[in-house]
Amino acid sequence: MSTTADPVALGASSPVAYGAKTATTVANAIAKTVAVISSTVSTSSTTGATFTSTSTPPTSATPTTSTTFAYTPTPTPTPTPFQSASPSLEDAEQKLSVKDLSQALQHFGIVDYLVFIAMLAVCAVIGFYFGFIEKKQKKQKLAGKDGGGAAGIEERRGSEALDYLVGGRQMKVFPVALSLVASFVSGISLLGTSTEIYVYGTQYAFILVTLAISGAISWYIFLPVFCNLQLTSTYEYFEMRFNKSVRLLGSAFFTGANLIWLPIVIYVPALAFNQVSGINVHIITPIVCLVCIFYTTAGGLKAVVWTDVIQTVIMVGAVIFVIIKGTLDVGGLGVVMQRNFDSGRVEWPEFTLDPKVRMSMFAMMVGYVGHNAYQFGCNQMITQRYMSLPGAKQMAHTSFIFIVGLVILHALCLYNGLLLYATYYDCDPLTTKLVLAKDQLIPLLVVQSMSSFPGVSGMFVAGVFSAALSSLSTGMNSLTAVFLEDYIKPLAKKPLTEHQTAVTVRLCTVIIGIVSGALVFVVERMSSHVLQLGIAIGAVVQGPLLGLFSMGLLCPSINSKSAITGSIFTFFFMGWLSISAQIAINSGEIHPEEKPVSVEGCDYEFDRSLLTPANATLHSGESASLSFAEQLYHISFLFYTVMGGTLSVIVGHLAGFIFGRNKPGDVSDDLLSPCIRRFQKSKYSSVNLNETSLKCSDEKS
């Protein structure tokens, strides 16, 4: 996976709902499959032949040559759970077709459904508790204070918005840290990371180093300013630093980014559920969305955080269980590593400065570090959690636990990718079309390895949905905060009452949830792998936002007009870049080099014509013939966010020749990053902040 310009490879755009067969056919298929799976307890040592996918080694950073299948003799390895180890079984029974096997593997039992429903029920109960029981107890407490004078009235003032959006700024370190982990590691990461390793190799594993670097950058550059100002919406900062127009622009970017991202978050676990149960994506999606809307609407941030804690435990437990059982099935850790070494999957990122190389060390250390620095330090969904803590000390502890938790969970997902290949090293489900989308590989592994453990498949699907629900609820709650603070309050002619605030935030949550669920129909038409889709499409607005925050925190000379010019120019450029790259992927112009796979060990019938790739890929020698525009959208998707942020700052500085620049002292030191304050020579020891800043300072005290 060392060369290609853009994101992760082509995958099927959506799962299909299989047509019903007669009762006799289904019964026979299930019986045959049970026999095949149970036969794996025996061993065999026959000799066969391998159809191995080989690719011409790339000589440049452009996409690689067409994949071909070479026929080479090789010993038949230990059978996978889909293989027949007994020759007598092959003689006695006709091989299953891939369609029959796929149908037979969709055995989501009653125990699995109960486990999955229990997870949803627990989330709903938590939302009910914080939305009704805990709220009622607080009202009774405040009612007792009202008799003592104005203290109760003053404490209640603004409590509805604070409780719903930032938990009253009294949340505890550990649950908030787990909530951050659960929110950041969505189903996109849980399934997409493992699939990335299976298809392209271990170059992506270097993210474990970049996560720590990104966390340090966000804590020392971005978060100190937001923590000191005690903001509910991060985009309030733009009004303090620039003006209200920049604030609205930043809020609009964030809104657009989340309306793109949230449907992807919902769609990924729906794929997993479809793989293990056969239930259509469009049936399970609205059900899960309704549960998430309920507990987020009822309980606010407190419900979101505590459901995240439960969901994190389920998510991690499911991944660990699958890893242990799967590793034992293939013969141990040594077998897993040996098979991946033999296939060439274990490798370092390529050391090159060519930005078109998909997973180079340069792309990781610059592109991915910058992308995550924005996510950790500027993303409303992350900073809103930090704002729910009482002080900077608690925020520092939470940040450390958050980064450590991310590294551990990503490491588990990365190893899961190695296990995935060790299981299917001689019978690739993608080639045989046993699965129709790359992100259904992990659910397939769960079904085939956990069939003897009732409820485990349900626990895994619950874990994937837990990751999605935590991200969805976080997104809805964060968007609600932005809607209230950046759109509704500034436009309201008079301050909202407590009742109006309560109704408004809950109505916003419901509308956001419904829109996100509806946009799943759009996401499933995209043909990119979800890991790429989440980063590349999101960068359309994350790039300009990173630029705005960088100009505000690090460039005191840039004024509001220059900032708006830079961010809007970047928005249109990144939009063109992402759309062009997506079109190139869909057409086959961009096709990343994939690691070799085999189908020799498959013990079920499939269409052998599938061994011939449908689309020819761009030859590596054609790099020089690419136009300048093509060179741009062939750049690795890991650079997208940093590219957008850098372009915004450059254009903002250039616009200063037209719109002028700020003078020293025009910007308060409180609005600049600590690393810039020492270089800022202000004529004044302090500059009064605007009314909003003073309000935030009073609130903090």
Token pair listed for 304? 């979101």
Q: How far apart are alpha carbons 133 and 570 in whole angstroms? A: 47
User: What's the rounded Cα separation, in Å, for the pair 701 and 695?
Assistant: 10
Q: What is the mean pLDDT of residues 143-155?
A: 49
DSSP state of 51: E
Residue with tokens 């309920």: 294
Alpha-carbon span 532 to 575, nearest angstrom: 15
> Is residue 2 within 8 Å of residue 203, measured between CB atoms?
yes
Lowest mean pLDDT among 438-442, 625-629, 656-660: 625-629
Whole-number pLDDT of residue 142 = 65
370 conformational bin, left if phi > 0, alpha if psi -120 to 50, beta if neither: alpha
Q: What digits encode the pLDDT tens for the residues 122-135? A: 888 988 888 788 77
What per-residue confidence (pLDDT) applies to 82? 43
pLDDT at position 94 is: 62
Question: How sure is the predictor about 649, in pLDDT bands with cuts at 50, 70 and 90?
Answer: very high
Confidence at 582, pLDDT banded by 50, 70, 90? confident
The angle, 0 to 180 degrees and rounded to 10, between the axes of the packed helices 244-277 and 441-449 is 40
As a whole number of angstroms, the distance between CA 41 and CA 174 comes to 44
Q: What is the CA radius of gyration of the chain?
A: 27
Q: Kindly indicate the confidence band of residue 251, based on its pLDDT and cuts at 50, 70 and 90.
A: very high
Q: Which residue has better confidence, 13 or 501?
A: 501
* 302: nearest Cα among 184, 399, 159: 159
Q: 392's torsion region: left (phi>0), alpha (psi -120 to 50) or beta?
A: alpha
654-677 pLDDT per residue, tens: 999 999 999 878 888 889 998 888
Rounded to the nearest integer, the mean pLDDT of the chain is 76
In this structure, of 84-88, 164-168, 458-462, the range with the lowest mean pLDDT score is: 84-88
Rounded-to-integer distance, Cα 390 and Cα 172, Å: 8
How confident is the model over 200-246, as pLDDT tens digits?
899 988 889 899 899 999 888 888 898 888 887 889 899 999 999 99
Inform me whether the pLDDT recorded for 77 exceeds 60: no
User: Which of the given ranges, 410-424, 623-637, 664-678, has the highest pLDDT on average?
Assistant: 410-424
pLDDT at 692: 41
Phi, psi of 398 (to 5 degrees): -65, -40
Convert the pLDDT of each residue in 598-610 to its tens digit: 888 888 788 777 6
Structure confidence at residue 392 (pLDDT)? 83
DSSP state of 204: G
* Amino acid 366: pLDDT: 93
pLDDT, average across residues 449-477 = 80
Whole-number percent of the chain with pLDDT over 90: 21
49 forms beta bridges with 73
Tell me which residue of 309, 358, 531, 343 sits closest to 420, measured CA to CA. 343
Asked if residue 680 has pLDDT above 70, the reply is no
pLDDT for 365-384, tens place per residue?
Answer: 999 999 899 989 888 888 88
CA-CA-CA-CA torsion sign (460, 513, 386, 136):
negative
The whole-number average pLDDT for the span 582-609 is: 80
Do 581 and 297 contact (CB within 8 A), yes or no?
no
- Between CA 531 and CA 637 the distance in angstroms is 10
3-class secondary structure, 47: strand
Average pLDDT over residues 181-195: 79
Q: Which residue has the higher pLDDT, 539 or 691?
A: 539
Q: Which one is predicted more confidently, 306 or 162?
A: 306
Structure tokens at 405: 């938790």
pLDDT at position 62: 37
Q: What pLDDT is recorded for position 22?
A: 35
Identity of the residue numbered 640: Y
pLDDT for res 431: 86
Q: How confident is the model at residue 696 (pLDDT cuts 50, 70, 90)?
A: very low
Q: Are 462 and 318 in contact (CB under 8 A)?
A: yes
HSE, side-chain direction, 13 A CA sphere, residue 676: 21
- What integer is the mean pLDDT of 64-76? 37
At 86 the pLDDT is: 36
Are the beta carbons of 589 and 618 closer than 8 angstroms? yes
DSSP annotation string for 550-590 = HHHHH-TT--HHHHHHHHHHHHHHHHHHHHHHHHHHHHTSS
DSSP 3-state of 39? helix
pLDDT score at 533: 60
